[in-house]
């Protein structure tokens, strides 16, 4: 039988009293702490974090030190120091000044949590003859806003796979997902992107200070964007997407004094959905080297719309070509893929191309399945064609399945408007175009045809006319339509014939 234990020791009772007092003190301290972390509404407040936990840093080349904390009052001296520390979602605010640095990315951002380098005032990063900015591994998701990058690195050389000549080199962004954004920047150099979800917008690319090859290059990947940039004075391409890239948007850019303005280049591996819209390209090519305004190489399911291309010094305004496995292709595709027997399913519409003195307005070589609608080709001064369908040398890969409809081919200096190397290209549809020539409209092989002969004998170009389209002022290159123009409202879709 258990008995109750009675504690009568004074010492034990004292210990209990002391323990109760200690517990009460702790409870009061806890209540006081809660009160201190509460505002008047009773909500609990979180203590302010330390500076580094906020992931926002400052760089000042005049008053900073790399031994500082990076706070606004105690900034870093170099941009590289900030790049060594900043984590995903963080920001490096860079105060005005010139930073003579060659920068390397150390950490990676993430989707929805990019690392941002933002200029506060005029910020120049000058790397001289070295790489200006590069990845060190699989970094991705960075935004560079308002900086000026200066470099002569890579002068005069072309590197298709990147990593050798580009001053802004984002070569290793594939696994990390890409996600690089360059906006509101000035670049004296070349930018290379490997991977997807990269954007270059509202920037100026200036190649005039040294012989630089290509301004912007998207190598593979998808969903890359070049928008509202100005690109000038490059000895190669203005904007270049290549090596199997897909869903590329090249929109609203101004490009001049380059060899080739825009190149959707699937010469090794075909590119898909290269969309070239609302760009202005002029003064392309050079007296001693052929060039073009917009260039499609093994480019499928794309859109070329609303562009103005003019003053092509030595080359075509628009050029589409498909390559294959040898046989005069001019380029051997990777794995020997044959693209010359495939329809491109690319739409070419509402483009204005004028002043192309030595080559056609549009040159098509072994590229089939184009939809060439609502374009204006004007004022070519050569005696050749406005639109020329050619075959790869020594082969029978003739361009076929083309649709040429509702275009204006204004070529008063030309002997003919449409030229085909072979009658095989008649396996296409020509309809409702306006010509302004001296009477001979077509040439197939060595045989020429009037429009009447084309319509009666070749059964092509129904509803097409030889008539003055009545531009507002062709002498001043204003190719909008006057009131009463025969092009107004007479397109197959009831809109206007031509680009406007």
Instruction: Read off the DSSP letter of residue 151.
Output: -
What per-residue confidence (pLDDT) applies to 210?
77
How big is the CA angle at 92 (ends 201 and 111), to the nearest 5 degrees?
A: 60
Taking residues 381-396, report their average pLDDT.
82
Cβ neighbors of 252 (< 8 A, separation 6 or more) are 227, 228, 277, 278, 279
What per-residue confidence (pLDDT) applies to 173?
54
Q: Is the pLDDT of residue 473 over 50?
A: yes
Taking residues 128-155, report their average pLDDT.
90
Largest distance between two CA atoms of the chain: 130
Q: Is the pLDDT of residue 44 over 50?
A: no
What per-residue confidence (pLDDT) applies to 491?
98
Taking residues 228-244, report their average pLDDT.
95
Cβ neighbors of 378 (< 8 A, separation 6 or more) are 352, 353, 354, 361, 408, 410, 411, 471, 474, 477, 479
- Is 312:256 a contact under the CB 8 Å cutoff? no
What per-residue confidence (pLDDT) applies to 267?
86
What per-residue confidence (pLDDT) applies to 445?
95
What per-residue confidence (pLDDT) applies to 202?
98
Cβ neighbors of 462 (< 8 A, separation 6 or more) are 431, 432, 455
What per-residue confidence (pLDDT) applies to 149?
97
Q: Is the pLDDT of residue 112 over 60?
A: yes
Q: First-to-last CA distance in the chain?
A: 109
Q: Is the pLDDT of residue 13 over 70?
A: no
Taking residues 144-156, report their average pLDDT.
86
Q: Is the pLDDT of residue 228 over 60?
A: yes
pLDDT bracket for residue 325 (50, 70, 90): confident
pLDDT bracket for residue 400 (50, 70, 90): very high
What per-residue confidence (pLDDT) applies to 335?
67
Q: Is the pLDDT of residue 14 over 90?
A: no
Nearest CA to 417 among 401, 430, 403, 400? 430
Cβ neighbors of 196 (< 8 A, separation 6 or more) are 177, 178, 179, 221, 222, 223, 224
Q: What's the whole-model pTM score? A: 0.87
Q: Is 198 exposed, middle or buried (0-12, 13-18, 19+ CB in 10 A)?
A: buried
Lowest mean pLDDT among 19-33, 120-134, 221-235: 19-33
Taking residues 396-410, report their average pLDDT.
95
Q: Is the pLDDT of residue 184 over 90?
A: yes
**pLDDT above 70 coverage of the chain, percent:** 83
pLDDT bracket for residue 438 (50, 70, 90): low
**Which run of H or E residues covers position 85?**
helix 79-85
Lowest mean pLDDT among 211-225, 233-247, 408-422: 408-422
The number of beta carbons lying within 10 Å of the beta carbon of residue 62 is: 9
What is the torsional sign of CA 457, 388, 354, 276? positive
Q: Which residue has the higher pLDDT, 82 or 411?
A: 82
The number of C-alpha atoms within 13 Å of 78 and in the hemisphere containing its C-beta is: 13
What per-residue confidence (pLDDT) applies to 38?
38
- Phi/psi at 38 (nearest 5 deg)? -115, 145
Lowest mean pLDDT among 20-34, 152-166, 298-312, 478-492: 20-34
Q: Is the pLDDT of residue 26 over 90?
A: no
Following DSSP, what letter does each residue of 404-440 receive, concatenated? EES-EEE-TT-S-SEEESSGGGGSSEEES-EEESSSE
Q: Which residue has the higher pLDDT, 166 or 195?
A: 195
What per-residue confidence (pLDDT) applies to 439?
66
Lowest mean pLDDT among 82-96, 173-187, 391-405, 414-428: 173-187
3-state secondary structure of 482: coil
Q: Is the pLDDT of residue 330 over 60?
A: no
Is 3.40.50 the CATH number for 101-481? Answer: no
How far is 180 from 162, CA to CA, in rounded Å? 16
Lowest mean pLDDT among 84-93, 96-105, 330-339: 330-339
The rounded mean pLDDT for the chain is: 86
Taking residues 71-96, report their average pLDDT.
98
Q: Is the pLDDT of residue 51 over 70?
A: no
Q: Is the pLDDT of residue 415 over 80?
A: no
Summarize pLDDT for 115-135 with one digit per residue, the tens: 999 999 999 999 998 999 999
Could you tell me the residue ranges of all domains in the chain? 101-481
What per-residue confidence (pLDDT) applies to 156?
52
Cβ neighbors of 439 (< 8 A, separation 6 or more) are 450, 466
pLDDT bracket for residue 25 (50, 70, 90): very low
What per-residue confidence (pLDDT) applies to 67?
98
Q: Is 20 exposed, middle or buried (0-12, 13-18, 19+ CB in 10 A)?
A: exposed
- Phi/psi at 26 (nearest 5 deg)? -65, -40
- Is 372:403 a contact under the CB 8 Å cutoff? yes
């Amino acid at each position: 039988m258990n008995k109750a234990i009675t504690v009568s020791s004074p010492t034990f009772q004292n210990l209990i009293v002391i323990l109760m007092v200690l517990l009460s003190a702790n409870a009061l301290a806890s209540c006081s702490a809660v009160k201190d972390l509460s505002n008047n509404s009773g909500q609990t407040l979180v203590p302010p974090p330390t500076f580094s936990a906020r992931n926002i840093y400052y760089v000042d080349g005049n008053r900073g030190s790399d031994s500082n904390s990076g706070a606004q009052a105690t900034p870093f001296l170099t941009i590289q120091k900030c790049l060594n520390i900043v984590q995903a979602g963080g920001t490096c605010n860079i105060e005005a000044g010139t930073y003579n640095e060659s920068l390397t990315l150390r950490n990676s951002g993430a989707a929805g949590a990019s690392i941002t380098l933002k200029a506060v005032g005029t910020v120049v990063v000058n790397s001289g003859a070295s790489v200006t900015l590069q990845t060190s591994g699989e970094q991705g998701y960075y935004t560079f806003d308002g900086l000026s990058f200066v470099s002569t690195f890579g002068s005069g050389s072309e590197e298709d796979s990147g990593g050798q000549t580009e001053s802004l080199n984002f070569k290793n962004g594939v696994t990390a997902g890409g996600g690089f954004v360059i906006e509101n920047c000035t670049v004296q150099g070349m930018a290379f992107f490997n991977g997807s979800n990269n954007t270059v917008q509202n920037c100026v690319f200036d190649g005039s200070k040294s012989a630089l090859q290509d301004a912007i290059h998207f190598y593979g990947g998808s969903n890359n964007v070049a928008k509202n940039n100005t690109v000038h004075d490059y000895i190669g391409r203005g904007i270049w997407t290549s090596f199997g890239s897909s869903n590329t948007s090249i929109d609203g850019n101004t490009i001049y004094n380059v060899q080739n303005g825009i190149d959707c280049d699937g010469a090794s591996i075909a590119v898909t959905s290269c969309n070239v819209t609302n760009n202005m390209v002029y003064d392309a090519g050079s007296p001693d080297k052929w060039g073009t305004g917009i260039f499609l190489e093994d480019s499928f399911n794309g859109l070329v719309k609303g562009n103005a291309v003019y003053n092509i010094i030595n080359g075509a305004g628009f050029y589409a070509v498909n390559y294959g496995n040898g046989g005069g292709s001019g380029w051997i595709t990777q794995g020997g893929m044959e693209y010359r027997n495939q329809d491109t399913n690319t739409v070419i519409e509402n483009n204005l191309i004028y002043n192309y003195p030595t080559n056609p307005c549009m040159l098509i070589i072994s590229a089939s399945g184009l939809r060439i609608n609502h374009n204006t080709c004007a004022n070519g001064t050569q005696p050749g064609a406005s639109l020329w369908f050619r075959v790869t040398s020594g082969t029978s890969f003739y361009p076929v399945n083309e649709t040429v409809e509702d275009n204006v081919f204004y070529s008063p200096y030309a002997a003919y408007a449409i030229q085909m190397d072979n009658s095989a290209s008649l396996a296409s549809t020509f309809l409702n175009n306006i010509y302004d020539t001296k009477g001979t409209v077509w040439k197939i092989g060595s045989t020429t045809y009037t429009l009447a002969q084309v319509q009666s004998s070749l059964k092509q170009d129904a509803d097409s006319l030889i008539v003055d389209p009545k531009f507002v002022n062709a002498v001043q290159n204003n190719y909008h339509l006057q009131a009463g123009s025969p092009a107004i409202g007479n397109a197959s879709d009831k809109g206007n014939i031509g680009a406007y």
